[in-house]
Chains A and B, each alone.
Chain A
């Protein structure tokens, strides 16, 4: 497995930024500063970063309701993300989407998604586009163990399978769909094995180990770029906070939480990189400090930004379709908002 020193530094910085971002939201939400729902990705950083480390800006990802980590790993601007979550006009979607709808097409981030299982059909659309255009763009489709039970996910796997689309399906199995463990919600419980029925190779990996994710992701994404079709990866991971902020987390015990925190991805990354002599403690400490400062700055930017103008309420809601091209449909009786 080849990985450059620059890539190692990048990966640690991205994982640390995600952790700081989520820890900050945890406290800001408790302080009543954030409107709407927030689902935090802390603990799962190695998955998003291990995958996105192999992607280019013109590759695509689809995300979930727990999408902040995917956004940061794909390079979405931190200040615009934070402002979006604060519901401010300077947000990535002008403050209208909030935490669950952050998107940045310029970075190939096709959107967080409030619909559980909403990502796979979108990923197939992006994959089909790349295939028809003959590009080598790859789409990574993140979803959770809960979404693994959704019809949309099965439809997406089927489409990707029959059309050999350049899509990597990544099931982030964090052990709970909202509050329910796969023991009660996933028939068979073997999520990775399900993909075998769709004719694609499938593996299960330690999602708490950046290096394990990075290596497996590299092989899967390279397959997709070579035109060899989709791959399914079940990344076994864990979220540190509740399903949403405000969740009292009564469905799991302290011993379990402490076990997974003892296998923390950032800690293990630091251990491996320093023991190998690839990075120094000082370098990593400096990244920690920079990440903290960047999140402070993003948070302040969000707090200082204006709320959206009420006159903006109906802009950017619908695309301005050329109605004449939609024949045989008639011009709607109600106006199209623009």
Chain B
């Protein structure tokens, strides 16, 4: 059976960056509308079964309300607690059910959580967050079509693998040698990991670049928002494809201006940098408390003299290129032949 999962994060697009920057509030009614269009796109290409993550705002329930669908679609059977872990658990459950694709609605933070649970299931990430480097600004119908084509095995060539950053937090008395070769990371990041001069995770988002000492990026492509824009604006294109980047920031460094959050241009000072090949590691140490922020959100506290090992892992989540998926299907005559009958 051709199946797809949908994870719409009700909390995306609502964090403190509406106060400290100029982020848009992404309301959940719009997410309902997006999920409806995704469902219609999925149905149009022959997907038979869809599960949607339940949430406290009822995005999935409302999307299914009064939507004339021929395919079977319902909420995933799991409790929703309105915690970030909902997205990870939903992804894990969907992967266990063998879905052919997971459509996500959120920003970089949402997709990071999904990537922690989805395993090898390809993602079709639709942007509804604050900093959106990993997800795409794309019409939901198109995303639904592309996700459905991949789930039905008609556009496997449109799936590529994204890198990720594996993060290991070690206590002051631990050495790198203490870390088993196959140790699972304590956390991951899809776009950026940063050391932030702050004790508390608190409201999670980061926006003050003067508090950042170190950044590891999986990508430094021009035109992005958030910390990866620092890398792109600093390297100015001198950056080999498939590589990551490490930046050390200090007052003595070269000034670089970049949009670190929506509407928030800041100047940072890059004191050192290193292009990272797949598998390369960066070791960061602080002699005072700090937090590690992943994809724009504070996550792990580093106590005094703790240190962290960050490794560029080329084997991150599998991601759909929606334009390529539709092009592949079109070239195969999919859109000029009768609507497929699912078996």
Contact = CB atoms under 8 A, between A and B. Distances in A.
A216 B207 CA distance: 13
Nearest to A190: B28
Contacts of A175: 56
A223 B28 contact: no
A255 B78 CA distance: 12
Given A192-B14, A202-B14, A212 B19 contact: no
Contacts of B14: 192-193, 202-204, 234
Contact of B301 (A195, A202, A276): A276
A205 B15 CA distance: 7
Nearest to A217: B203
Nearest to B55: A189
Contact of A183 (B18, B58, B199): B58
B29 A190 contact: yes
A276 B291 CA distance: 11
A236 B58 CA distance: 15
B82 interface: yes
Contacts of A236: 56, 82
Contacts of A196: 25, 27
A209 interface: yes
A255 B19 CA distance: 35
A149 to B, nearest CB: 15
A290 B204 CA distance: 33
A192 B203 CA distance: 16
B17 to A, nearest CB: 8
A195 B19 CA distance: 13
B215 interface: no
B202 interface: yes
A236 to B, nearest CB: 6
B334 to A, nearest CB: 37
Nearest to B10: A190
Interface in A83-108: none
A193 B301 contact: no
A202 B15 CA distance: 9
B16 interface: yes
A150 interface: no
Contacts of A205: 15-16, 203
A188 interface: yes
Interface in B111-146: none
B201 interface: yes
Contact of B18 (A189, A201, A276): A201
Q: Which of B57, B79, B81: most chain A CB closer than 10 A? A: B57
A312 interface: no
Given A205-B203, A216-B203, A275-B301, A1 B25 contact: no
A220 B82 CA distance: 23
A232 B265 CA distance: 25
Contacts of A142: none
Given A193-B28, A196-B27, A212-B204, A231 B19 contact: yes
Given A1-B202, A205-B203, A193 B16 contact: no
B198 interface: yes
A241 interface: no
Interface string A254-277: 011001000100000000100111
A202 to B, nearest CB: 5
B11 interface: yes
Nearest to A196: B25
A214 B198 CA distance: 14
B82 A216 contact: no
Interface string B178-203: 00000000000000000000111111
Nearest to B79: A255
Contacts of B255: none
B25 A193 contact: yes
A211 B201 contact: yes
Interface residues of A, number: 38
Interface residues of B, number: 31
B16 A189 contact: no
B200 A211 contact: yes
A190 B10 CA distance: 9
Contacts of A77: none
B15 A203 contact: yes
A215 interface: yes
Contacts of A220: 19
Contacts of B19: 201, 203, 216, 219-220, 223, 231
B248 interface: no
Interface in B201-223: 201-204
Nearest to B15: A203
B289 interface: yes
A277 B83 CA distance: 26
B79 A259 contact: yes
Given A192-B25, A276-B303, A203 B200 contact: no
B73 interface: no
Interface string A165-208: 00000000001000000110000111011011000011111000
Contact of B200 (A1, A182, A231): A1
B20 interface: yes
Nearest to A260: B81
Contact of B199 (A204, A209, A219, A276): A276
Contact of B202 (A190, A209, A231): A209
A275 B302 CA distance: 10
Given A196-B27, A205-B16, A272 B303 contact: no
Given A192-B14, A201-B18, A272 B200 contact: yes
7 contacts: A189-B28, A189-B57, A201-B19, A211-B203, A236-B56, A259-B79, A272-B200
Given A3-B200, A277-B303, 6 more contacts: A1-B203, A183-B61, A189-B56, A190-B28, A193-B14, A211-B202
**10 tightest CB-CB pairs across the interface, nearest first?**
A193-B27, A211-B202, A190-B28, A204-B14, A215-B203, A215-B202, A219-B19, A189-B57, A211-B200, A201-B18
Interface of A: 1, 3, 175, 182-183, 188-190, 192-193, 195-196, 201-205, 209, 211-212, 214-216, 219-220, 223, 231, 234, 236, 255-256, 259, 263, 272, 275-278
